[in-house]
Amino acid sequence: MSFSGIRPAVLVLAVLAALPAFAQDHWIRLKTAHFEMYTDADEKKAIDGILHFERVREFFMQVSPVRAPGEFPVRVVAFKDPQVMHVYAPNPGVAAYYAPGPVRDTIVMKDPVPDSYPVSIHEYMHLVIRHSGLRVPLWLNEGWSDVFSTLKPVKDGVAVGDLIPRYMTILGFAKWFTLPELDAINNHSPEYNETARTSMYYAESWVLTHMLYLSPEYKEYFARFIGAMNRGMPLEQALLLAYNKTPNEVLADMQGYLLKKKLYGTVFLTPFEKSGETPVVTPLTGYETEVMKADLHAAALHLGPATRAYQQLETDEPTQPGAFEGAGYLALQGGDKVKARKEFTRAFALGTNDPQMCLQLAALDHEAKQPASVVMDELERAVKLRPDFPEAVFQLALMKVDLRDFEQALTLLGRVGTVPPERMGVFRSALAYCNLQRGNLTTARSDAEAAMRAAKMPAEKQSADRLIQLIEARSKGPAAALSGETVVRKAGTAVGLRCAAPGSGALSKMGINVDGRQLLLDLPDEAAVEIQRQPSSAKIELKCGALPPFPLVVEYAPASVANIQSAGIIRRLEF
């Protein structure tokens, strides 16, 4: 079962009240490359359990066209006592659940023993589907997860598709949903949330997905069906497009499919070998345990208990960042950016080691127009804590571009890794601009053209077009950029402008007082110079002759080859 936006369940408040602060229930944390498990169960069981998750992840990485997330470990919380787990669950009837959250993905389950593995695989499949970006209906999400929950190693690889006996029993006597009825059920529907019809909903979702995904008649067109659903096509149209059948015809096929009592499975020729990794096991402090439990309440949208738990922890341990981090995420989840920023700022000051929180705080501070130095500190800590955190590296690179630190920006952009299509326009524009500032015009032109092709929004296209025009202008004439040139940035005061005679081929000259002395700089054609004006400078004109003194910032390529009497070639003016 996965959930997002489910209403809070009725909590067992008496159980909560009976739990003392920092309860001594001996929790441990286990870490592998892709998972971290929190549990109060037996350590040996926990080690076997987390290594099983690693095997399942590796299986999906090899056989699935969608990739599991790799940036941050998935958190697994395994409760020795199912009754205690239900205090933190979205509703008391679940055997396990998957909670996507702003901090991390969390799978919550009972004791990590082999009997719990099928349901844990079911929840992990929800995670895979979510991170694939596929938009599929709830019944298909649940049914697909149940099909893969039967995963088991066999001689030639991994078998998927065994019968699920409890579903076979339910389907034999319960009233079936029509396919439009099944498709209309969502996270908030009574049929999904512990009514007499919930078991039938899961059973019918499973057998329908099983038939579409694995039966000879349907599996060949399953990808076409998924594609149609992902594009938002209604179920009836998607079935017609993929299979040329109506919902009633598919329902009849499904009921006949079930009568066979022996459904089709498949074997993936993929080894399911034990992981050779040794998990790192550490005991949790009482504080860490209570923060983890408060995080579970927040993930399950138990807003009252989560808020009270964070507040108590902030009072009891005001020098620890964990509760402030959690309270900030909870506020952000509720749309309260002011409170989120306040909580995150406190956690940052206390030395948080959460790179995601540092990135969130940087975004909030940028939106609140905080000084660039503040935002930069937050992004740099995020990258220091997690050097392979693509989004933090990307945002830090963009900020380096804004601050005109092109060498660092290019280095960081080279570390971003895979860039999603929706970000490619911005990414290639940043590369083009940095290369332009270094005089690498061929590379800059290639990147700018790629940015134009990748642009999704009109503003991105306009930006790429302006960049292409600037590159072309800077590649011509006596002031053309030289490969590898470095630009000097100085604050100064305008003195005057000596304009070259039209058609002479000479360059105009601009006098600027910098550091107590006057520099004479070549001023190329207007199209080759970036000019950034402030609103207060709207009336300033760059006219030939003496200029009224006004402050400006100039960027120039020094040691101009166009005129040895010049200190350089102006590339950018800000005033």
Q: Which domains can be identified in the chain, with CATH numbers?
A: 163-264 (no CATH), 488-574 (2.40.50)
pLDDT digits 0-9 by tens, 448-500: 999 999 998 899 999 999 999 999 999 988 889 988 888 999 999 999 999 98
The whole-number pLDDT of residue 17 equals 37
The answer to whether 531 touches 483, Cβ cutoff 8 Å, is no
Q: Are strands 74-78 and 106-109 parallel, antiparallel or unpaired?
A: parallel
pLDDT greater at residue 229 or residue 17: 229
Average the pLDDT over 336-357 and give the result.
Answer: 97
Whether the predicted pLDDT of 65 surpasses 70: no
Say what the pLDDT of residue 89 is.
Answer: 87
Do 557 and 519 form a contact (C-beta atoms < 8 A)?
no
Span 341-363, mean pLDDT? 97
Q: By mean pLDDT, which of 313-327, 365-379, 541-555 is the weakest?
A: 541-555
The count of C-alpha atoms lying within 13 angstroms of the C-alpha of 190, restricted to the half-sphere facing its C-beta, is 3
392 vs 398: CA distance, rounded Å: 10
The single residue listed with the structure tokens 């190329």 is: 524
Most confident of 270-284, 317-331, 489-503: 317-331
Residue-level pLDDT at 103: 64
Per-residue pLDDT at 19: 41
pLDDT at 40 (0 to 100): 95
Which phi and psi (to 5°) does residue 236 adopt?
-60, -45
- What 216-223 contacts at long range (C-beta under 8 Å, 24+ apart), as own/partner pairs, is 216/264, 217/253, 218/243, 218/253
Q: How far apart are CA 506 and CA 500, in angstroms?
A: 6
Residues near 175 by beta carbon (within 8 Å), at least 6 away in sequence? 200
Q: Out of 27-41, 63-77, 104-118, which region has the weakest mean confidence (pLDDT)?
A: 63-77
Rounded to the nearest 5 degrees, what angle is found at the Cα of 411, between the Cα atoms of 405 and 413? 95
Q: Calculate Rg over the CA atoms of the chain.
A: 30
Per the model's pLDDT, the better-predicted residue between 300 and 380 turns out to be 380
Question: Which of 211-225, 401-415, 500-514 is least confident?
Answer: 500-514
* Mean pLDDT along residues 549-570: 81
* Residue 334 scores a pLDDT above 70: yes
Q: How far apart are CA 468 and CA 551, in angstroms?
A: 29
* 75 membership: H or E segment, kind and range: strand 74-78
Rounded mean pLDDT, 543-556: 92
- pLDDT tens for 512-523 read 999 889 999 999
Which span out of 63-77, 155-169, 458-472 was modeled with the highest average pLDDT?
458-472
Looking at residue 3, what is its pLDDT?
Answer: 43
Please state the pTM of the whole predicted model: 0.82
pLDDT confidence of 66, banded at 50, 70, 90?
Answer: low
Which one is predicted more confidently, 275 or 49? Answer: 49
Q: What is the mean pLDDT of residues 260-286?
A: 82
Half-sphere exposure of 434 (CA within 13 A, CB side): 24
What value does the mean pLDDT of the chain take? 88
Alpha-carbon span 291 to 297, nearest angstrom: 10
Instruction: Tell me the percentage of the chain whose pLDDT exceeds 90.
Output: 63
Q: What is the mean pLDDT of residues 347-358?
A: 96
pLDDT level of residue 59 (50, 70, 90 thresholds): confident
Average pLDDT of the residues in 40-63: 90
Q: Which stretch of 37-46, 180-189, 213-222, 530-539 has the lowest confidence by average pLDDT?
A: 530-539
| Mean pLDDT, rounded, for 319-341 | 96
Query: Residue 10's pLDDT band (boundaries 50, 70, 90)?
Result: very low
For residue 419, pLDDT over 60 is answered with yes
Q: What is the mean pLDDT of residues 390-410?
A: 95
Greater confidence, 260 or 307? 307
Q: Parallel, antiparallel, or unpaired: how do β-strands 530-532 and 568-574 relate?
A: parallel
pLDDT at 189 over 50: yes
187: enclosing H helix or E strand: none
Tell me the three state secondary structure of residue 96. Answer: strand
At 261 the pLDDT is 66
For the ranges 2-11, 54-63, 230-239, 395-404, the lowest mean pLDDT is seen at 2-11
Which residues fall within 8 angstroms of residue 272, CB to CB, at 6 or more apart?
Answer: 55, 59, 153, 157, 158
416/34 Cα distance (integer angstroms): 20
Confidence of residue 14 (pLDDT cuts 50, 70, 90): very low
